[in-house]
Structure 1
Amino acid sequence: MAIEPKTRQKKAPKDRDGRMSLGAHLVEFRKRMFRALLAIAVGGVLGWLISDQILVALSTPVSAITDSQGRAASLNFTDVSQAFDLRLQIAITVGIVVSSPIWLYQLWAFLVPGLTRKEKQYAVGFVLTSVPLFLAGCAAGWYVLPHMVSLLTGFAPQGTTSLISAGDYYSFVLKLVVAIGVAFVLPVLLVLLNFAGILSSKAILKSWRIAILVIILFCAIATPSADVFSMFLLALPMIFLFYSAALIAWIHDRRVAKRQQKFDSELVVP
């Protein structure tokens, strides 16, 4: 019996101009989406395995209320399926965070055919810098979480008991951690806008007073503790990232100005 030779996998068909048809785009999108979802699923399995440790870590700020405020506090599961639902939410969240480099790359790879060479470089740089900064911001959000829990539960009258819904508490933690993570990525967005020619370094530096004021207010809300050290511990890296973005934008503007000056000088007729 003759064995047929293996055929090489063909790439998505393109027309004479190198453009993909609608059907080819849908096939490419399905392939990228499948890989991204597979990576999230694998990360979700890891999240499910460590969900016990995450639940213990989540309940630690609530348990500390008893020592700091002298009253009982606990996480409560208000219905039969809420414990399972919470573990599933934790697994999905961990899966998305852990697999972020993979699904961000798949998203970028799908958009590559529609980008110029320079725009591809900007996209790659954005992904490579935004992922670690986002994770660092999430870590900072986790650091300020106990201060937020202590402040907000401290408004309850003395002698009362804090019965906190586990589902609502997890949503609160997720929003806080993600908000600070996104705040750490915003300087990268400023650099991207500068490289794209939308925002100049002068415009970034001109708004430094407003930027620092917003950062201080944000950190004051996120770290409502008695010591100011926690607030500045969160504000300093954000201010550093803002000025780093302004510096990178300034260097880029100088290079663009030099190239433009050289180009204009070559156009001058002797």
Structure 2
Amino acid sequence: MKGGSYSGAFYCASIIISNTGFGSIGPGSTFEIILICIVWIVSRLLLVLLIGRIMQVIKASSSANHKYIEMVRQLREYMRHRQLPEYMQRRLLTYYEFRFQKSYFRESEILATISGQLRQEIVMHSCRKLVENVAFFKNLPLTLLVRIVSCLRSEVFLVNDVIVRANTPGNSMFFIASGTVAVFTASGREICHLEDGAHFGEIALVMRDELRVASVIAVEVCELYRLDRKEFVRAIHPYPDLLDNIQRIAADRMERTTMIDEHNRREMASRRLY
């Protein structure tokens, strides 16, 4: 019986050895045979683990894409049920494609599962440079900068969306993460285009009850970060001197913008006379 067991084991070992590439010259001792068997088994296990890992990555990727496709399918069903006009359907599909980049995820749930410190680091990585581009935000204490950045809220605007309208109350400013917007005076004259990294509407943060002096319209699909006055004032409350300085800068900017608009109005009026 023992002899049969040994012969079976050696038969299996010989198969393994032949598969490892020894050819006609085999190992010379039992120890070498055992070592070769162990190496062969470990190599096969590593191969199985590698294949399993690759399959997990493929599955995760296809799962995110599948969820996005399913979400778009539900969106189309919703639009059909509501009998939305074609132009509105196109805008909705454009929004979803830009928002999710054809791969479904729930950012709010992801951020909710990580620590406050890590969540803060992610937000700072995404938005710190945007905030530091604002003249009166430069050289702020790091603790205050963190408080301001944590107040930002992401928003997506489609082509021709009116982001802010002149002569309406303002209570927030915007930072452009991506995209291009056009700025118009209250009289309707285009002033300029603003692109990635720019900002607008900062006067509304510190000048309560002031009307917007310009309109801003999305030229392409834009991702903006909104900072509301209420949250900004709460964040900067421990720094009253800094708030006074920001208010002075904002008042100067508003005065210059108003002067430009008045000049444009007079120029347009004189053209009509002639």
Instruction: State TM-score, norm by structure 1.
Output: 0.32
Q: Which has the higher contact order (CA 8 A, sep 6+)?
A: 1
Instruction: State TM-score, norm by structure 2.
Output: 0.32
Larger Rg: 2
Structure (1 or 2) with the greater helix fraction = 1
